[in-house]
Structure 1
């Protein structure tokens, strides 16, 4: 695959000198270009989601346009079953599948460091599960060597097993790296799909619209409120519901950690906290959401029609979903067993899974939420800009 350089998109070579270099499309990008050209002539699906209105603002599709539209697609499948040009028609249009293949490539291309993105693209499932297993085993062996694996702990105080400062250093470093990698990756994506020189608009209003679309998972409704297609051409809202449970479950768990941090540093209240405390309640409800949501998404993934998306990505998708599920399950098990002799074993398992999740987060399916949010913001901004295409140009 040819790697892009944002400066090449703006007519500069990598050392900053002006040139006529234009990124050459690879096979997956060329297929999206072909299908978008057909769709732009038909426009039957114009009201389905944000992809098709964005498509109609273009007569040609460069690499930046293709990357933008691919991440704007929510893979709901509605356009596939509405299209009159799908196989066995000679045009063989399948927008969800073509977009899914490009999306995977953008996660690798925009990743930072780039080598990590390419590695995860080739061995995503193996890397995620192997990282989780290795870290869990390492922590278990470390505690066994120190004699803390089955040592009694008073009051469920896991800081007696792992000192607070050690945990902060371990997970602060990993989480900081994950946030830095995600930020740099989405920055590269944004600079490529949104070159300077566009007309100024009310960015605050656009950001509010994009945020609302993210929080509502607006475009998982098939464009008509009936939901996505999954196993066949029937519409279902379960994909949207399970995504909601996963998304808000994750946010609640993050809120639980944030509140516990404020308790510790601002109020001087050290863990463990009672079950009725705010951090624990947030963690319980978030954990339940992260059990039901990923379990439902995994069930839908196994039932999903092979024409809906890229089947070669299924193992990676399932590995990420399974890792999310195991993180939540181990967290709830840790809460339930924190007064038992299994505390250290449960703690090692949960910490290893959480660390593996953060380490692989910038290169896993998690990145699609960040890139898609950026694409939704660009869509909201673009809608507020004048359409330079004349009716006679269509």
Structure 2
């Protein structure tokens, strides 16, 4: 796929006895550079999001600048619908699509280990569903062999089926690898874009501003507070709201697991926990929030304007949304069906969805939040430095 071209480099002689390595732009990167030159001359969208103020601090767009701007873009679509040079104009400026294609390329380029970067191209909806189904069927088969698949004497406690230490042994390595792979990927991204974004160190005010932008999803408001465009020219805050449901629902579910871990190891309080315990409250509210958010994002994604983003990445987007929905829905079903004969089946379905989600985290849509947060932090740092080219003031 063209938008996933590998990073290419060539050696260019500078002087006798010396050589340097100059990055060669891929086709998607070249297209972003072309469009940014046009946008830099127009400036109509300067107040829309962080991309355009960052753009005005540049006269040229190298590979690192393009990677930075692409991950700063939130793909809200407002600039496309406002642009006088958008298709069918001969300039064919479509910033959301061009940025999305480069973002997809950066996920591949910065994947760790590098050999697994190609998984971004294959991590689609069918693969996600097949992986979750396959893992769940494997667990169901294992339970069926033991004769405890239906109506077993489990007393409503799933640890009687899968001991706590066994679950930790299964999931901890997968989760830790996912965290390491994401950390190494964003480390490489940060190393490359830092020189292109002033190179200044992180400061408290910059970190606070970036954190605020991440937690509020500031740049999904279209730059004017009315929202972004989804399937037409009308502004809507729906994407921002459903992203909030999804983001905070995921955080609450993660917090529920973390608190339960502390309960288990620090206080010896073993699951299952009942309401109004903190793990149960966090898990229940987080699960419902996650279901609402992912259902809404699925609906909006299916209705998205065809000129928004990169259509070839839509299967990856839908695969991640589907796994989040299955994880939350199966978790709530497990809670509600804990005292029924279906406990073992529900547990296997939930564990299969969670394992598939963890396994695909480093090589799917989840990575966009990590890379975008890093880009927002670099933007907050850069805007506090002198604007040496004098084109605009932040």
Match of 2:6 among 2, 6, 12: 2
Mark the runs of 5 or more structure 2 residues left unpaired by the alignment. none
Contact kept in structure 1, 2:56 and 2:391, CA below 8 Å: no
After TM superposition, give the deviation of residue 288 of structure 1 in Å: 0.3
Partner of residue 377, structure 2: 377
Instruction: Please list, as runs of the form range in 1=range in 2, the aligned pairs for 1:176-255 lying within 5 A after superposition.
Output: 176-195=176-195, 198=198, 200=200, 203-255=203-255
Provide closer, same or farther for how the CA distance between residues 175 and 266 of structure 1 changes in structure 2, counting only shifts above 3 A: same
Partner of residue 90, structure 2: 90
Kindly provide the CA deviation profile for residues 182-217 of structure 1, in whole angstroms up to 9, marking residues without a partner as x: 000100111111139946466121111100100000
Kindly provide the CA deviation profile for residues 97-134 of structure 1, in whole angstroms up to 9, marking residues without a partner as x: 11011111111111112222212313533432222121
Contact kept in structure 2, 1:201 and 1:385, CA below 8 Å: no
The TM-score, its normalising length taken from structure 2, stands at 0.93
Partner of residue 25, structure 2: 25
Aligned residues: 385
Provide closer, same or farther for how the CA distance between residues 118 and 387 of structure 1 changes in structure 2, counting only shifts above 3 A: same
Contact kept in structure 2, 1:2 and 1:24, CA below 8 Å: no
Partner of residue 297, structure 2: 297
After TM superposition, give the deviation of residue 154 of structure 1 in Å: 4.1
Provide closer, same or farther for how the CA distance between residues 56 and 249 of structure 1 changes in structure 2, counting only shifts above 3 A: same
Is 1:38 the counterpart of 2:38? The answer is yes
Provide closer, same or farther for how the CA distance between residues 91 and 130 of structure 1 changes in structure 2, counting only shifts above 3 A: same
After TM superposition, give the deviation of residue 147 of structure 1 in Å: 2.0
Q: How far, CA to CA, are the matches of 2:41 and 2:237 in structure 1? A: 30
Partner of residue 267, structure 2: 267
Contact kept in structure 2, 1:252 and 1:286, CA below 8 Å: yes
Q: How far, CA to CA, are the matches of 2:331 and 2:116 in structure 1? A: 28
Kindly provide the CA deviation profile for residues 326-364 of structure 1, in whole angstroms up to 9, marking residues without a partner as x: 111000000001111111111111001101000000111
3-state DSSP class of the match of 1:49? Answer: coil
Contact kept in structure 2, 1:249 and 1:288, CA below 8 Å: yes
Is 1:306 the counterpart of 2:310? The answer is no
Partner of residue 142, structure 2: 142
3-state DSSP class of the match of 2:150? Answer: coil
Mark the runs of 5 or more structure 1 residues left unpaired by the alignment. none
Q: How far, CA to CA, are the matches of 1:368 and 1:18 in structure 2? A: 38
3-state DSSP class of the match of 2:376? Answer: helix
Q: How far, CA to CA, are the matches of 1:357 and 1:176 in structure 2? A: 13
Q: What is the root-mean-square deviation in Å for CA atoms of aligned residues?
A: 2.1
Q: How far, CA to CA, are the matches of 2:112 and 2:153 in structure 1? A: 41
Partner of residue 331, structure 2: 331
The TM-score, its normalising length taken from structure 1, stands at 0.93
3-state DSSP class of the match of 2:341? Answer: coil
Contact kept in structure 1, 2:154 and 2:161, CA below 8 Å: no
Contact kept in structure 2, 1:67 and 1:193, CA below 8 Å: yes
3-state DSSP class of the match of 1:142? Answer: helix
Contact kept in structure 2, 1:256 and 1:283, CA below 8 Å: yes
Partner of residue 76, structure 1: 76
After TM superposition, give the deviation of residue 18 of structure 1 in Å: 7.0
Contact kept in structure 2, 1:199 and 1:385, CA below 8 Å: no
Kindly provide the CA deviation profile for residues 270-302 of structure 1, in whole angstroms up to 9, marking residues without a partner as x: 111113211011100000011100000011111
